[in-house]
Structure 1
Amino acid sequence: MTERIPVLKEPAPKPKRKAGKRLLGAIYLLFIVLLAVLFFRSELSKISDVTVSGGRFTDEGEILGAAGVGPGDPFFWPTAEAIAERVKRLDAVADAAVRKTFPGRVHIEVTEYPAVAYGLTEDGAITAILSNGAERPIGADSVVDRPVLRDWNGREADKLRLVDALSRLPDDLLSDFSEILPYPSEAWPDRIRIYTRTRFEVVTAVSLLAEKADTIRAVIETQEPGIITLLLADRYMPYAKDEGSGEAARDG
C-alpha cells in the first residue's frame, strides 16, 4: 500500500521590519539633531535681557560685569548657579540668586552685607562700612543712619574689630549711635567714645560693646542724657545743668 506524503508548503517570507525600524529611527534622530542645530543657532537660545535688583552699595554695571553674561550670550550656559557664584565674589555681596525665564530673560538678585557704620575719606566723601569690613562709596544725598567712625586712620585692625562688634548690636541701638572715636588708655587700648543721637556719651571698649548693649539701651531709655561709663564697673552720671547739650549732643 502506497502512503501519500503530504506536500509541505514553504513558509511565507516575513517582512523585513527590523531594517525598516532602523531606517525610521535614523531619520528621527537626524531630524532631532537638525532641529537642535537650528534652535541653538536661533535667537531663542540667546539671552535677550538681563536685569538686576537688590544692589544699594554695588552698582548695576559692576554686578553685570561680575556675572559675565549679557544680551546675545547663550541662554543655557553658564548655569544660573555658576552666574550666582561669580556675583558673590563681589566684596559687598553676601548672597546672589539668578533666575532664568525662557525665552531669553535673566534676573540677578543680590543680597548685600548691611552697613554698620560710615566713614569719611580725606576729601570728605562718605563711605558705607559693611558688616564684613568692606567699604563702599555712597551718594552725598544718602541717609546716614549709622554711626560715623572718626579718627580711625592707622588703626585698621582695631577698626575691623569694632565693625564686627557693631554688626552684633540690635538695629535700634546702632541707629542711635552718632559718632564713634578711639579713646585708648594703658589699661584699655581698645577703649572708645560713643556719641548718641539721644545726647548721651558712652565710654566703653570694643571688646565689651556687644556685652554692654543691653545696659546702654536701659540707661538711654530710663535716664536723662549724661555720661555712661562701661568698663570694669558700670557708671552713669547726668550732665550738669549748666553744661547744656555740650559735646555729647553731637548728632553727626
Structure 2
Amino acid sequence: MPNAQIPVLKQNRMKKRTSRKIAILLILLFIVLLAVLFFRSSLSRVSEIRFDGNVFSTREQLLNRSGLAIGDQYFGVSSSGISNKLREIQSIQQVTVDKQFPGVIAVHIKEYATVAYELQSDGSLRAILANGTSVGVGSSGIAVEKPILTKWKSDDPYKAKLCDALSRIPGEWTADISEIIPAPIPSFPDRIKMYTRSQFEVITTVSLLSSKISYLNQVLETEEPGLITMLEADSYVPFKQDTSEEPQEKDTTQ
C-alpha cells in the first residue's frame, strides 16, 4: 500500500492560519503596549482645571468639594460625579463639566441669583440668593439696586418664600426697593413693610408681592411719596396733604 501523503494545498492553508493567528497576537500585544505607555504618559493625566461662573465659592473650595486634582487620570474623571458633588454647595444651581482632551477639565458653574442683602447684628451684609441661602459677600461687592432685609429671623419660613418671589420679579421692578421688614399680623402672617429709595412706604404680603408689583411701579412713577397698601385692596395716601382739605385716600381697588 503506497505511503499516504498530505496534500500540498492543505499544508498551505494551515500555514496561512498559523501566520494569521501570529499576526493578530502581535497586533494585540502592540495595542496593549501602546495602552500601557499612554496611561503612563502625561497625556492621560489631568493637566489643567478651569472654573468659571463662581462668585461665592473660591477655587480652593470647589477643588476640595469636587475632588479634582492635577495629575488625576483624565479618563477616570466622572462628569456627573463632579456635577453632583458641586451642586451640594448651596449657592450653586447648575454645573456643566466639559472635558477637553488632552488633560483639560473645564467646569462651568451657575449660581443662584442674588435677590437681596441681609443686615447682620455686627453691621455687615450677607447676600441672600434666590433659594434663600445666605452667603458672605466678600470681595464680590454688592449690587446697590437690591433691597436689604432687616429684622428677619433665620428660621422664618416666609424669608425663603420672599426670596423666591423676588427672584421671579424683573430686577428693574425691584430696583427702587431699599429695605424689606417683616410686619406680620394675625390676619396676614406673611405681611411685610417695604421702603423705597424714592421715599415711599409700602405694606403688602409675601404671597401678594409678585401679583402687586406692577401696581407698585405704576404708583412710584406717577405719584408723590406716600403710603402704598397692597393687600386685599390697593390704596395710596400721599405723605404731604393739603391741610385746608380733609385727607382723602386714593382707592385704586381693581
Aligned to 2:212: 212
Is the deviation greater in 122-131 or in 42-51?
122-131
Q: Does the aligned pair in 2 maintain the 1:116–1:174 contact within 8 Å?
A: no
Q: CA offsets, 1:38-71, max 9 Å, x none?
A: 1111111101111111011222221222221111
Q: Does the aligned pair in 2 maintain the 1:151–1:182 contact within 8 Å?
A: yes
Aligned to 2:37: 38
Aligned to 2:200: 200
Amino acid at match of 2:42: E
Aligned to 2:113: 114
Q: CA offsets, 1:118-157, max 9 Å, x none?
A: 1122322211111111111002743333111100126521
Q: Distance in 1 between matches of 2:17 and 2:215?
A: 87
TM-aligned CA deviation for residue 11 of structure 1 = 4.1
Amino acid at match of 1:234: D
Q: CA offsets, 1:6-50, max 9 Å, x none?
A: xxx984244211111011101110110111011111111101111
Using structure 1 for the length normalisation, give the TM-score: 0.86
Residue 8 of structure 2, aligned match among 12, 22, 27:
12
Amino acid at match of 1:118: Y
Q: CA offsets, 1:203-233, max 9 Å, x none?
A: 1111211111111111112222221111121
Is the deviation greater in 86-95 or in 184-193?
184-193
Matched, 1:126 2:128: no
Amino acid at match of 2:173: L
The DSSP-based 3-state class of the residue aligned with 1:210 is: helix
Q: Distance in 2 between matches of 1:241 and 1:58?
A: 51
Is the deviation greater in 130-139 or in 233-242?
233-242
Unmatched 5+ stretches in structure 1: 1-8, 243-252
Aligned to 2:100: 101
Q: CA offsets, 1:161-219, max 9 Å, x none?
A: 22222222221122221100011223222211101122221111112111111111111
Amino acid at match of 2:117: Y
Aligned to 1:81: 80
Q: Distance in 1 between matches of 2:186 and 2:156?
A: 19
Is the deviation greater in 169-178 or in 47-56?
169-178
Q: Distance in 2 between matches of 1:192 and 1:10?
A: 103
TM-aligned CA deviation for residue 95 of structure 1 = 0.5
Aligned residues: 234
Q: What percentage of residue pairs aligned between the two structures are identical?
A: 40
Q: Distance in 2 between matches of 1:32 and 1:97?
A: 33
Amino acid at match of 1:149: L
Q: Distance in 1 between matches of 2:46 and 2:116?
A: 39
Aligned to 1:236: 236
The one of the two structures with greater contact order (alpha-carbon pairs below 8 A, sep at least 6) is: 1
Q: Distance in 2 between matches of 1:106 and 1:151?
A: 43
Q: Distance in 2 between matches of 1:161 and 1:98?
A: 31
Change (3 A) 1:91 1:127: same
Amino acid at match of 1:230: M
Q: Distance in 2 between matches of 1:233 and 1:153?
A: 28
Unmatched 5+ stretches in structure 2: 243-254
Aligned to 1:179: 179
The DSSP-based 3-state class of the residue aligned with 1:227 is: strand
The DSSP-based 3-state class of the residue aligned with 2:210 is: coil
Q: Distance in 2 between matches of 1:10 and 1:178?
A: 102
Aligned to 1:5: none
